[in-house]
Amino acid sequence: MSQLALPHLRYLEAEAIHILRETAAQFRKPLLLYSIGKDSSVLVHLARKAFFPGKIPFPLLHIDTTYEYPEMIEFRDRFTKEIGAELRVYTNRAAVEAGANPYDLGTAKCCHLLRTRALVEGLKEGAYDAAIGGGRRDEERSRAKERVFSFRDREGQWDPRNQRPELWNLYNGRVDPGESIRVFPISNWTESDVWRYIEVEKIPLVPLYFAEPRQVVVRKDTLIPLEANVKLLPGETPVTETCRMRSLGCTPCSGAIRSKARTAGEILVELSVFRRSERENRVIDHDQEGSMELKKREGYF
């Protein structure tokens, strides 16, 4: 018996590459949903590996809410150019021009317009039949039941009660025109798998992920870094904290955590003592119990 085994990170890598290749082979017009965050950075890295020595055979789509950190946009443009990837950017212009913002609309409505609607419209406009995302099943309870190839109807909606069975590594990507599949190659990864992979593979990330002294306001136990779009609420005063983002989103809605971790390796050490999930600092997930499931049904990633 040869007893060759694959370390678990390489197992996850091989699985993700297989899924990315299935997507490229089965669909007419796939794309990769690129949020600039750590999970999509891992996805892009995996896609480079999957199709080497060829180029990534699909475009990267960024849904720009116009509330992103300037550092994210700068990183996006530089990184995609460096690796020769094709970048597309889509914004829900109508909503932005109508002045959509989380202060007046509330986070749930704002997120629905600038992310969910924008994504569904963007996919429809490009007639994309598959969208690859960096969603992981360990992020949130309703994601635990998401398929790797997850069917969306013509309205981009997910029906958790009526999902295609998914066995072995046989993925059924057949859709009719207008329907699409959301593909989640890193479904089986945990947050520490992502960081370990980033460390081992030396994947470049937006500097916001690493600790630095930053100007923040403290809002409901969450540190909100002060950026152009962040308004001070009555009674708030900025303070300087050494902190980092655990998860990236829009400036008014993603919080930082107090941390001294300046590298992926230090973040891993920190994670091993952490007892709280990365999405806790995303204000949108807590609008109501089960709110992620509601968003996903409507088409959110």
Partner 1 sequence: MHEIVEKPLLRISTAGSVDDGKSTLIGRLLYDSKSIWEDHLEEVSRSRVNRAAHGPDLSLLTDGLRAEREQGITIDVAYRYFGTPRRKFIVADTPGHEQYTRNMATGASTADVAILLVDARKGILPQTVRHATIAWLLGVRKLAFAVNKMDLEGFHHEVFVRIQKQSEELLATLVGATASYFPISALDGDNVVEPSKRTPWYKGPSLLDWLENVDAEPASDGPFRMAVQLVIRPHLDFRGYAGQIASGTIRPGDAIRIQPTGTPARIKRIVSFDGDLDKAWAPMSITLELDREIDASRGDWITAASSTPQRARRLKTTIVWMNEEPAREGAAYLLQHGTRITPVRLARIAERLDPATQTQVRTNELRLNDIGLVELETADALPFDLYRENRATGAFILIDRLSNLTLGAGLIESSLDDEHHSGSLHSSERAALFGHRPCLIDLSERPELAPALERHLLLRHSHALILENEDVPADFLLDAGLLVVATTPRPEAAVQASGLSSDPATAIAELLEALHHAGVFALEDDYVEGEGI
Rg (CA), the chain: 19
CA distance 59 to 25: 15
Considering only residues 1, 97, 202, 213, which one is a binding residue for partner 1 as defined by CB under 8 A?
A: 1
Query: Closer to partner 1 at the Cβ: 21 or 109?
Result: 21
CA distance 183 to 196: 22
Site for partner 1 in 52-71 (CB under 8 A): 52-55
Listed ranges 66-74, 224-232, 254-262, 273-281: which one lies at the site for partner 1 (CB under 8 A):
273-281
**Amino acid (1-letter code) at residue 100:** A
Q: Is 168 in the site for partner 1 (CB under 8 A)?
A: yes
CA distances from 226 to 112, 160, 214, 236, 260 (A): 23, 38, 8, 11, 19
Q: Is 203 in the site for partner 1 (CB under 8 A)?
A: no
The 10 Å CB-count burial string (b at 16+, else e) for 115-131 is bbbbbbbbbeeeebbbb
Residue 243 as a binder of partner 1 (CB under 8 A): the answer is no
For residues 73 and 79, what is the distance between their CA atoms, to the nearest angstrom? 10
Under the binding rule (CB under 8 A), the answer on residue 129 touching partner 1 is no
Is residue 277 close enough to count as binding partner 1 by CB under 8 A?
Answer: yes
Give me the residues that bind partner 1 (CB under 8 A), please.
1-8, 10-15, 17-18, 21-22, 24-25, 48-55, 137-138, 141-145, 160-161, 163-170, 172, 174-176, 187-188, 190, 192-193, 196, 199-200, 265, 268, 274-277, 280, 289-290, 293
